[in-house]
Structure 1
């Protein structure tokens, strides 16, 4: 089965996911990659299936090339997609998948959807060797703050409010900075903990990346988080409130042995269950289900 993966543009999450999938050796499928502005109408005849990495990309591809939606499978990558598009529109695609149990539960009674975990390259994203034991306590955060809607969705102001009266350094990476993926590894490796303060998410990818680097996580209950953090030995799922973030950061600051325990356990969880290879069969089974 020959499949074309279609990200929107270089350097963002969908591009990373497509490129990661292309590094894997599948038994029954062959993956190729083209960015959406490079796809031609004739490509529908050269591939058994076209997989745009999001519904928005699929809609654009359909409108600009005329490739029919029944020739495409597509990923449901946020709750906002469910609010934006009708069930009948989503049903018009050949197949649907998602990484999120939450999205699966919301949609499975209304339309068929396939659960596919998204893995992480644990050889790229890995703990630092000789991690610092002195210096400021560094809290990491990743998200968009360039638009008020994203800023609220990602919870940036909740985090700054939580940390303003405690002795920590907040280190962030934002959409506008366009940090290369390889450079994000050193960012995570320099953290003492990582906060995800989102109101809703599909994965979220920075949580997987930080976890692979052995960074203790403090996160809201979004996306794959409850699958990744099954108990308090692997991280902290907290209410979406400033005082909850602050109290948990202080717990980690005051208990270095707890930081070490969580760091070791969350890294091992990634190695055991969330590598690219561990998630490979999810994707192959999904694609083959449409052949």
Structure 2
């Protein structure tokens, strides 16, 4: 998939106006999940924006320009549960088709030989446009390719200066799919990382901007930071324009990594 460098992570967003505002500012990738319990909120924001009630010219509004992504939770992954869950999600989001449907985690009712073909049948039916995976390890990714006969459309994984998997990025490069980085701001902890702060001071910007730019510099990574205020939405979107030097990226790469924020 071709995804913009910065999309909107929506975990914890409970106001449709924040989603509509993001779209008005230029966001074109909305990421949610069934477990977030806010698909209707995201769908409401999308509907508001499409209706022309969020500040941008109506002529610039096209549903097909927006990637709407959601995820099946671990109790939605049995073959006979996939279709009903996906249809419920599409209805809550108010869309005819889900642009990207992820397996949220390869746990619970997940069986690659049953779950992945069940999602793929939804592609054939037109309800889903792309099959993605999330929080997978290398063996899971390889099995996905074996079962589907192609790479996933995207792999979503936690990625920030305190936690990332270089081997996952290499796999994505080798097989030609994007990595969607969630929690690129490390839950706000990027302000505590000396290397990030030093780069931010050198560029006269914020640690948050540097963290997003650092992630975006790692081909083939795109990011989905969460934000709800207009100031933060603007700042995160603009972070893609910041170019870091190779030495700056290397300095942040060298930060001692810690445990992931969202383990199994």
TM-score, structure 1 length as denominator? 0.31
Per residue, is there more strand in 1 or in 2? Answer: 1
TM-score, scaled to structure 2: 0.34
Q: Which has the higher helix share?
A: 2
**Structure with greater Cα Rg:** 1
